[in-house]
Amino acid sequence: MILYMRTLAARQRSSRADRHLAYFLTFNAGAANAGGFMAVKQYTSHMTGIISAMADNTVLGDTSLVLAGLGAFVAFVSGAACSAILVNWGRRMNLHGEYALPLLLEALLLTCFGLFGGYLQLQTWLIVPATVILLCFIMGLQNAIITKLSQSRIRTTHMTGLVTDMGIEIGKLFYWNIADSDANRPPVKADREKLALLTSLVCLFFSGGVIGAVAFRSIGFSAALFLAMLVLLLAIVPVFDDLKALVRRYRA
């Protein structure tokens, strides 16, 4: 089990580790996204909708909503940028847990959300902007992790892209390869492994959404603590490995 947890956020990657980390983070993203909606009636991973709403509200002249959308957009981009900084710093420092630092930060932010969300709820003027900005930052943070380690092949929050890729593979799967006079043209073949991965990610995002919505409706902001624990488990082993290596280096 320790060996398995060590590989998920490690510097040395495998396609299996990439898939499994994506599974965990996609489930987590679905839960956090649905939980955020239950808390403030707004999704925080859907940049297409947020930017479209900004355009609509610009035309309608609703400056406050345009600024709110801009805040969500900047938070998402900042989260992705922060993830890139942490991953590249870990790479320069030759850390074993190259991808563990942004996961550790995500766990910390989710913990803060779970612990202080109840207080924010009492501050009606603060709850919506603070929740949206925090969750958008988290979504950008974790989406950038998977994007970097998979060379942009996998996303954890961008369901539009995942579903589009699913449709492409399904189209290739059912394509009728008839005899062609040009023998140099290869037959159209679906990537069944990719299709299975995409389908799994969409199902996990949906499942996470259902469980996250139920949990937030039942126990409130404390549900975020369980999500924080899940992310912490993904990062804790490589972080301890790096700490032990640092201690050994210091003693030497």
Give the predicted TM-score (pTM) of the model. 0.86
Q: Which two tokens stand for residue 29?
A: 């993203």
Give, in order, the Cα–Cα distances in Å from 96 to each of 21, 120, 184: 16, 37, 46
pLDDT digits (tens), the chain, 252 positions? 777 888 888 777 788 888 899 999 999 999 988 888 887 778 888 888 889 999 999 999 999 889 989 999 999 999 999 999 999 998 888 888 888 999 999 999 999 888 887 776 666 666 678 888 898 999 999 888 888 877 767 777 778 888 999 999 999 999 887 765 556 777 888 889 999 999 999 999 999 999 999 998 888 888 999 999 999 999 998 888 888 887 887 776
pLDDT of residue 179: 64
Residue with tokens 């640092």: 246
Cβ contacts of residue 108 below 8 Å, gap of 6+?
A: 228
Smallest CA-to-CA distance from 40 within 133, 109, 110 is with 133
Query: Side-chain half-sphere of 196: how many Cα atoms within 13 Å?
Result: 4
Give, in order, the Cα–Cα distances in Å from 33 to each of 91, 132, 249: 30, 10, 41
pLDDT of residue 122: 66
How far is 222 from 4, CA to CA, in rounded Å? Answer: 28
Residue ranges covered by each domain of the chain: 2-251
How far is 198 from 221, CA to CA, in rounded Å? Answer: 30
E-state strands within the chain: none
Backbone angles phi, psi at 46, to 5 degrees: -100, 80
pLDDT of residue 124: 65
